[in-house]
Amino acid sequence: MRRTLLLDEDDLIMVVKEDVVSQIDENRGEMNRTEFVNYLIQCQLREFTSRKEYITKEEFQHFTSQMMELLHNFLQFFISYSMSVSEGQPEADIQTLSQQLESLYRTDETNETY
């Protein structure tokens, strides 16, 4: 037995199993089958496009700057702790370490674009 189906250009046919049709009928409420299937597809597409599985460039830059600030604070603490523990350390060494730390921090601030 051969079937011929005449449709407008905008209409399409989707073949589904009988159990899927019964699930559609059970859950569609006042909508017809086509409206319900279109609604389900649109909901899934919206959910798919709204998923965020990666971070933005701005979020990464913010994270990087926070990590550099944390490192800077840790190094400052480490240097100040070292100075308080070893009072006999020459002042020149402490000044050199402090200058290197400040130059690293300034270099990071000027190179924030990635």
Alpha-helical regions (H) of the chain: 18-27, 33-50, 57-85, 91-110
* Higher pLDDT, residue 29 or 2: 29
Confidence band, pLDDT 50/70/90 cuts, at residue 108? low
**HSE-up of 92 (CA within 13 Å, CB side)?**
0
Indicate if the pLDDT at residue 66 is higher than 90. yes
Whether pTM exceeds 0.85: no
Q: How many residues does the chain have?
A: 114
**CA distance linking residue 20 with residue 104, whole number of Å:** 63
Mean pLDDT score across all residues of the chain = 77
Quick one: pLDDT at residue 1?
47
* Higher pLDDT, residue 77 or 53: 77
Indicate if the pLDDT at residue 114 is higher than 60. no
**CA distance linking residue 11 with residue 85, whole number of Å:** 82
